[in-house]
Structure 1
């Protein structure tokens, strides 16, 4: 497949970088949202908030749908947006029946030799999705999660050479307990979703 340099992010809830951006301008990736939303608020409808794929080791950059159109053309951009929202809605409905909220997720796509759009990379894993237990969900608070947020939070306080890690290589060495707790969260998501 020829990878498309766009991460197709769909958000059903306001969290993470989306929450930060909303606080600044009541929008996420150019999508205007209602006033008065709080951290972890459910959005009226899932929104498509793409990101430009960064080089390995760099951070992806949130972009608008219009920037995606400029990068890959209107038809392909619309197809990716529509497929991504449909996938998110179907997955979120199934997960909710198992007591898990999928707050947001990302998909990656490529084109085959015939130019057909193909879903690629991992899909709906704790690495690409934000999973929250339904029973702990409260608007205004970051719920406990079954995803990589625990690891992200640890990295925010990690030290390299006696100083806070600045998110450039080398990364801090992960303690065994952080690895084990992250793995346990992933396993809990699997158990709850699969029964």
Structure 2
């Protein structure tokens, strides 16, 4: 699944790789890693996910010491192309939609679904503070809708509104839960 490979990597076990000092977390716990991108498609940080289920929620994810992923976006291969194209750095291939997800695992899941079913979706995952990255996407291509597929809770509702408010006025934005759709209003 090339779309997923462009998005995530399984980190090697600590006995097979000498982890650098800026990665102070147990590499046997934080093994799934995603790159975090700035709105122009440049790599800004990395986020690692714990592979153990027994950790408290606050310990599920980590980023390198001294770095943050706030204000960045996770992006599958088409998402990376979209970010670079909006900034004029490359030509945009045909897309069905830009799909905004909430968090690392939902981004991975939707990127896999898009790949498995041959959907041409630019999947962009957001975390707290990521809505600011959408503000700089003012050259949004005509005719490309934005589907917001965040959780159906209060935090997901806030993310959906933040995305709508951050995007240019002419962009069609829909809240999608893939079971029913509802328009996101300002």
In the superposition, the TM-score normalised over structure 1's length comes to 0.28
In the superposition, the TM-score normalised over structure 2's length comes to 0.29
Task: Please identify which structure carries the higher helix content.
Answer: 1
